[in-house]
Chain A
């Protein structure tokens, strides 16, 4: 029934195309894994919220699929000094309610984000912003406390209408923005419907109506796609479904490297794991190939360092230790861990070598990976326990309290190397849950953050990655893949971005 309905829509879309030729496609239904909490772009915290907010509103810049910042609302920008960036807005910008968008709105947006009491999840990304000056209606100046190279890559965050937000407008439920689409309706837990906006500076999108259908269960979402209820689905998906669709010629597929990593967080403050050599020995027990190619069925990629291979800072010469059971056992023996009492477990000074691995229960592949690691550790003579709890208990109640020994988890949305290194691995950093400290790494990560010349940044990150690959506060298991599947009969425009945004599905993904 629904399938027929979809064909009907496709025919209608075709007729519309020949009749008016304004929009290539009448409607598009995309499956999402989580519902949006709030649609205020400043407060967005789930993937669906980022993606929808990115359609309703527009930022100063747009991030292309190759992660390059190109002008969106800002026409151009320049840095008169390392700590100032001046943006010039396009002339005649308006929000979808018809009110003009000026430098005031830009300043308001970032002043609220950086206000501690506003509690924006993005505040951590903008802490170097000291003040914002409105020079004139079209010019706005950002004053930074320190040079901050990654800034531009975070400025695709949506600009909010200050008049509306200040005077009782509900940005969370009834957002207004200057993006290519407007909010039509939102049924909590079920669907969000967006319609093409006629006020976006770059013109109308190629899709008239876009619906986001929330289906929490990965398998159910895949089946709904097969049944024709959804036109597009994307990560997270189960490895089984990914393999099946990738091989199916009637399904359009986009498979690429994503912006996330799965890694082991070593608690370097734990006496047992304080010695880098110990961490090296344990890292040599991580059978990346089995985890990536068997458990994850090859949808991810075996990792070699803390820098993503798609990044300008990547260096293939930097290599973490790889799987080597005999080498690990030899290195443990060198550290004094041998099976002196013949019970099959390593010991030193009468104490058995005992380690706890942990992860969260929501992702069955991570659970399986940890259980597999436990088996390998155990066969190397390490008494290994596994601790698996739900995400809030594991992340906020355990790893973030530095109570772990070795935790398996991930970082997402690594649009710039700074985002997964600076707060994470500098001494005393806010996200440095493993208590890692190395003066040279601190220096290099600071250079990476503040040098405005990309070659200098890349060099700093290469050296830092080299030290990290030897000292192993992090052991990166895999670079996460990103997958998108679509029905080629109903979807006409597809330009995917590893960030998983929807602009590429409405014909606005590329550099403009």
Chain B
């Protein structure tokens, strides 16, 4: 088991190298000069030339790639061209917000998706099934961007129940305060995260619900379910205890993949709800051609994603004892 984890972690090294090279090549290919973007509309051509030299943009690509790797080995992700701060500081300052948003969205989509899927499978072809699958269909086909604006319009502008934008205290520390008796920060934080998390979660919830439904329907036809029913086990127990555990297996691996999708979806959601996370940072870094920052963000996303897939594989073994990790 420990061996397996270590091997998986080591595997991340060649993956990271590959990611850095691919991102680097993509950045070489897209047109656009960070020096010219940086100096803006009053720039002089010689000013741009001086800055290109200072930023090392005139060096051949292999030198730039080589020095990037050399610095990376020393734990240095470079210096952001636009924000006058080390890339690692900038990313660390934003990481918490994105992970918080993605985790809350993931929880919402699991709870919502599994419940909806089980209810639908329970009465296949019934009215509950039809309504559940209609909701899922809407969730899959509605663009996050549009949904987010719609939710904001409804709950923040018209009803005024929730704030439209921004983030308060991080949830973790708000939880800590709640434990010491100060509940207000937690309520504020939850109110702020509600709309972005729901709009981010809906798509994943819809996908998970459809998967749970199909998987449940299959399991419900199996012999052991019939046996359980024949023994007189209550229907609820059969569904939630016997069938669901077996039906969840394919769902677990999809949940891992969804986390990646949630990180990607966060790019749009964060921009709309002014959520100060990595997604928002990605957009501005790309539109400014802030090369070191883009590299750093992509690498961070890859690292998160790799850790999550590892976690999912470990979970897999826990859910299904037949799977042994070697």
A interface residues, Cβ below 8 angstroms from B: 1-3, 34-35, 37-38, 40, 43, 45, 116-117, 119, 121-125, 127, 172-173, 187-191, 213-217, 219-220, 223-224, 226-230, 362, 389-393, 395-398, 400, 411-413, 419, 423, 430-431
Contact = CB atoms under 8 A, between A and B. Distances in A.
7 contacts: A119-B47, A124-B44, A188-B276, A215-B274, A219-B149, A223-B156, A396-B37
A419 B163 contact: no
B31 A398 contact: yes
B88 to A, nearest CB: 13
Interface in B3-25: none
A224 B165 contact: yes
B38 A393 contact: no
Interface string B274-286: 1011001101101
B30 interface: yes
B78 to A, nearest CB: 16
Interface of B: 30-34, 36-47, 50-51, 54, 82-85, 90, 93-94, 148-149, 152-153, 156-157, 160-167, 191, 271-274, 276-277, 280-281, 283-284, 286-289
A389 B34 CA distance: 16
B300 to A, nearest CB: 15
B31 A217 contact: no
Give the 9 A-B CB pairs with smallest separation, nearest first. A392-B32, A397-B31, A190-B276, A396-B36, A227-B156, A224-B164, A227-B164, A172-B84, A189-B276
A215 to B, nearest CB: 4
Nearest to B271: A216
Contact of B51 (A119, A227, A411): A119
A188 B90 contact: yes
Contact of B44 (A38, A123, A362): A123
Contact of B152 (A3, A227, A395): A227
Contacts of B161: 1
B93 A119 contact: no
B47 A226 contact: no
B42 A119 contact: no
B165 A45 contact: no
A216 B274 contact: yes
Given A117-B50, A229-B165, A37 B83 contact: yes
Given A397-B32, A419-B42, A189 B272 contact: no
A233 to B, nearest CB: 12
A397 B160 CA distance: 45
B54 A119 contact: yes
The secondary-structure label for the interface of chain A is loop
Contact of B157 (A125, A187, A226, A423): A226
A390 B284 CA distance: 12
A228 B31 contact: no
Contacts of A226: 157
Contacts of A412: 41
A187 B276 contact: yes
A228 B160 contact: yes
A223 B36 contact: no
B54 A214 contact: no
A225 to B, nearest CB: 9
Given A187-B276, A216-B274, A396-B32, A229 B166 contact: yes
A216 B283 contact: yes
A123 B47 contact: yes
Given A37-B82, A224-B156, A227-B160, A391 B94 contact: no
B164 A223 contact: yes
B271 A188 contact: no
Looking at A43, A362, A392, the one whose CB has the most chain B CB atoms below 10 A away is: A392
A386 B84 CA distance: 37
B191 A122 contact: no
B42 A125 contact: yes
B274 to A, nearest CB: 4
Contacts of B37: 391-392, 395-396
Given A116-B47, A217-B271, A390-B32, A223 B153 contact: yes
Contacts of B47: 116, 119, 123-124
Contacts of B277: 189
Contacts of A392: 30-34, 36-37, 287-289
Contact of B38 (A2, A121, A431): A121
A35 B83 CA distance: 10
